[in-house]
A and B are shown apart, each in its own frame.
Chain A
Amino acid sequence: MISQNALHHAEKCRFCWMCRHLCPVQHQTGKELNTPRAKGLLLSMVHKEAQQFDKDMAQAMYECLLCDACTNDCATGYQPPLFIREARTEAVVSELAPESVMHLIDNVERTGNIYGVEKPGFGREGTDVLVYIGEAAAVKAPEMAENLLKLLEKAGVSAKVLEKEPASGVMLGDLMGYTEEVRQMAAVCAKALNETKLPVVVLDSYDAEIMTQKYPEWGFEIAAGVTTATAFTAKLLAEGKLEAKAPLGVTGACHDDDRLARTFHEFEPVRRMAKAAGYDLTEMFNHGKLAKSCGTAVAWGYMPELVTRIAGGRWTDLTRIGCDTMLVANPETWQCLSLCVPEGCRLVDLFGALL
């Protein structure tokens, strides 16, 4: 049902509880089912024919953000998202996935995004870099996309955006695992990006992850290279192409988004951006590599109520340290944290803050 490699990880995780404290879904639901060990245990039981992979089990595999905090905490390096993602493939193939998930998959196959809407265009010509906006930013955080483009213009960077930007495949990959459909979607995207021959600056780290981690594995590397928008902006600041602003006298805390933190281990650029925007910095507990997730666009798509609670948990982390300003530079975290901004608190788009 799942690969030998994924099963090996599941069998190692089935009797280990060590990462439980970092699981945002477990924290919000209090369900034992929502721990990496429980999901590993269930898949092991299926392998031993002690349980059946049914609709309830399929549902359980979707009560996970794939935030990867568990992997990053594991002293041995086991990866619960590996077997959870493969279990999602089984759920879809066996037609056991929840209807809410299947609805999103239909949307992605129809429009390229979970929202089921035509992706707004940001197309423009440029010669220095190609900016990849991504689905979440285009639909749910268009101001952040515009702010990034304005910022690049301000720095004298000639940025191109494809008129019809293909989906990267990350949303479908999170919903159904890395199937042939996802690979084909990724191939189309890679071809379009490579045709420009420009280095790619990616706004959403979720897109950057699949482009840097899976595309090469599938044989279509982005030839001119992929950089996260945060790292690129920080470089512009370091080169003096963007100017730092005067101190605002306001203290804020950066929320490290899941994939930037876990896949790229990229923490400093966002903080450099925040300082350049004039903010004094403080830190929430569980920041950096083990930052607590605030939810993802895909998870919001099929479990909006739970993602809103998870985002609320991150706001609680902020206010508990006496801070009211959350600093973000990722459209998905923007989308999730926007769901429940507490009274008196502010959510700041760092690209906009630097303008």
Chain B
Amino acid sequence: MQEKSMMFYMIRSELEDAVGVENVSTKEIERAVYSVDYFWLSRKWQDAGKQGPMPDIIVRPGTTEEVSKVMKIANYYKIPVTTWGGGSGSQGGALPVAGGILLDIKRMDKLIELNTEAGYVTCETGMIFATLEDLVNEKGYSVMHLPSCMTCCTVGGALAHNGIGILSTKYGKMDDMCLSLEVVLPNGDIINTLPVPKHSSGPNLIPVFVGSEGTLGIMTKAKFKIVRQPQTRIHHAFLFSDIHVGYQACREIVQAVKPSIVRLFDEAETVSIIKKIIGFEKRGSFLNLTLEGYEKIVAAELEIVMDIAKKYGAEDLGTEYGEKWFQNRITFFYPDHIMDLPQMFGTLDTVATHDNIEKIYWAMKAVVEDNFKQYGVRFISHSSHWYDWGAMNYSRFIIDNPPKDPEEALRVHNQIWNAGVRAALANGGVLNDHHGVGLKLSRLVKEQYGPALQVLQALKKELDPNGIMNPYKMGL
């Protein structure tokens, strides 16, 4: 689209008619704001004084009907549409790399229904997740989705990449919490998934859209289950001799009881991040674990946890460090605590069954440390989301002095990602656990799915034949 063409103004006028003049903007500074999200590369680009990808028009719909109108216009003119919630994604998923329309949904932030008796809450997806949690907390309940980005992500953003929160081991991911969705399809049609998520009435539609990162439609309303705030929540920390023993113990714990938090740190992260934030000084593999619910059940679960920890020779660190970690769980992500430029960094999170997860840890560590030692790369990891069948690794690479030239830095960055992700794929892992694919990993989607990708391609072709939804993302 050329800004100076008559057609540009014709389309802008149509969009203004759909959502109101005040909710359409082509101002340079507003467009520039959307050129940087939480993706390291977009930040590096900005830091180097280079202009990142900008949309041509920003549109801020206030209702589902307005979203529908915008999509009908975009689909007719075949204009790319990138949906933006909080912009706090780390994978470049919200970057408007194809220009076109940037659909910022934050005006759609209404609470629709809070039903404590039935146990659900329905809201528009432009609501900041922390706001939703606050509103539910006011009634003594919780969605129990507490990610680190909670204060800045929208509900839609969390759904789009199938996000996860720190209490996931007990309460699950977004796709476990979501009961139903309203979605605007690329052709502008408004659809609803079935009223409940579990049934034998045909394939469930929720997973089609949750995790699809804005490539198949725009989720405009969501219903989530809510639970009563727990009667008790206790934190306990342990120290294992090494990560290998830690993996074994945690597997046994999650197959026996249902903790809300299980965070096992490798030796490198124990002596760096954990030491810095909560002041824990010893060497080994640190675990903080949280149990919550009814006091009687929690007491019984704790007893089992203590037995398993003892069996694996863990040092009992008591409640202090676990509580400290919980209190500081967001502190890790503020400036000067979290990694930042000029460092190069990335989170190679993946998930696998219990028999593979440790293999992936060692394979990824080796491939990163061995192949990129000339850059002084560091590798740290923790495992923070567990299932009875497996666990995830939240492995990070950090380079303190990466190449200054942004194009060279991009090349090194992608080489590390390629190597790390391929190590996961070769050992039974997947591209990503909970940050999504976005632009960052789009090129690797084909390697992950193989011929199975045609299922997603067929969906994409049918739902979005003009390919306007979040182009170049998700490998679609």
Interface positions of A (Cβ within 8 A of B):
12-22, 26-27, 29-33, 38, 41-42, 44-45, 48-51, 54, 56-57, 60, 73-76, 78, 285-286, 320-321
Contact = CB atoms under 8 A, between A and B. Distances in A.
Contact of A41 (B36, B84, B134, B152): B36
B259 interface: no
Given A27-B109, A76-B337, A17 B86 contact: yes
Given A30-B126, A33-B30, A41 B337 contact: no
Contact of A18 (B33, B84, B138, B151): B151
Given A41-B46, A42-B32, A76-B337, A30 B151 contact: no
B149 to A, nearest CB: 7
Contacts of B126: 30
Interface in B150-174: 151-153
B38 interface: yes
A50 B33 contact: no
A160 B88 CA distance: 54
7 contacts: A14-B46, A15-B335, A17-B86, A30-B108, A32-B34, A41-B33, A50-B50
Contacts of B43: 15
A100 to B, nearest CB: 16
Interface string B58-101: 00100000000000000000000000101110000000000000
B60 A17 contact: no
Contacts of B135: 285, 320
B338 to A, nearest CB: 8
Contact of A32 (B50, B87, B151, B336): B87
Interface in B241-280: none
Residue in A30, A41, A56, A286 with the greatest tally of chain B CB atoms within 10 Å: A30
Residue in B47, B107, B334, B335 with the greatest tally of chain A CB atoms within 10 Å: B335
B302 to A, nearest CB: 30
Nearest to A322: B138
A32 B84 contact: yes
A76 B152 contact: no
B445 to A, nearest CB: 26
A31 B60 contact: yes
A15 B340 contact: yes
Contacts of A48: 46-47, 49
Contacts of A320: 135, 138
A32 B36 CA distance: 11
Contacts, number: 113
B344 to A, nearest CB: 14
B334 to A, nearest CB: 4
B38 A285 contact: no
B213 interface: no
B199 interface: no
Contacts of A49: 49
B130 interface: yes
A33 to B, nearest CB: 5
A50 B86 CA distance: 23
Contact of B87 (A17, A19, A51): A17
Interface string B127-146: 01011001101100000000
A31 B29 contact: no
Given A44-B46, A50-B46, A57 B340 contact: no
B294 interface: no
B36 A15 contact: yes
Interface in B331-349: 331, 333-337, 340-341
A33 B33 contact: yes
A66 B119 CA distance: 39
Contacts of A76: 334-337
Given A21-B128, A44-B46, A33 B151 contact: no
Contacts of A321: 138
A85 to B, nearest CB: 18
B151 A20 contact: yes
B330 interface: yes
Interface string B105-120: 0111100000000000
Given A17-B87, A21-B128, A57-B29, A285 B46 contact: no
